[in-house]
A and B are shown apart, each in its own frame.
Chain A
Amino acid sequence: ETGVTQSPTHLIKTRGQQVTLRCSSQSGHNTVSWYQQALGQGPQFIFQYYREEENGRGNFPPRFSGLQFPNYSSELNVNALELDDSALYLCASSRGGGGSIDTQYFGPGTRLTVL
């Protein structure tokens, strides 16, 4: 196990609702990245937080937003849920300086289903 935890493990929502997913990073890590993985696809980068600031964003609309807290845990918020948002949401923590040139430690993921 990596020491990165995510909650909840599974979630079912309906279209139009809002959802908050949570990630606790591994001890000593100050960077958290979020990824969306649709069924049968590779993960897609959503955004990264380094020391509480957004430090890079992928091609996701503004209704995907995030936060990082002083203890480096993080939240992913998705507003106005759409059916295509159904996916596995993964977070990964790493140490030192942002970017993705450090080993990424992944959490187990949150499986979101939008009906």
Chain B
Amino acid sequence: KNEVEQSPQNLTAQEGEFITINCSYSVGISALHWLQQHPGGGIVSLFMLSSGKKKHGRLIATINIQEKHSSLHITASHPRDSAVYICAVCGLAGGTSYGKLTFGQGTILTVHP
């Protein structure tokens, strides 16, 4: 079992729909990152969070440390949101995983007009 699991693996939506992508992890973490990757490879950091909730435009990220779970929400989705969304975690300070990111396998989102 991977340390970081995302669901769903593939997601298709119609423009305007509310989208949720989930990330579960099995280790203690110091931070969780949500990343966006477009075809061609470029990765953009969307959020880094260690507690609570962050919002940027139509994107909202939440994390529940006790449940080891995070969600990325996209409100009023648009075709330009089509990309791969990747969750990545950084291990706790003092542990062997501190200083490195462990990635989920990504969620492929396609938004149709």
Contact = CB atoms under 8 A, between A and B. Distances in A.
Interface string B44-82: 110010100000000000000000000000000000000
Nearest to A43: B103
B94 to A, nearest CB: 11
Interface in B63-113: 86, 88, 90, 93, 98-106
A45, A48, A90: which has the most chain B beta carbons within 10 Å? A45
Interface string A15-54: 0000000000000000001010100011111001000000
Chain B binding surface, main DSSP class: strand
A106 interface: yes
Given A42-B105, A101-B30, A108-B42, 6 more contacts: A37-B41, A42-B104, A58-B100, A102-B48, A106-B35, A109-B43
29 contacts: A37-B41, A41-B105, A42-B4, A42-B86, A42-B106, A43-B86, A43-B88, A43-B103, A48-B100, A55-B99, A56-B100, A57-B100, A98-B99, A99-B30, A99-B90, A99-B93, A100-B31, A100-B88, A100-B90, A100-B101, A101-B30, A101-B48, A102-B48, A103-B45, A104-B45, A106-B35, A109-B41, A109-B42, A109-B43
Interface of B: 4, 30-31, 33, 35, 40-45, 48, 50, 86, 88, 90, 93, 98-106
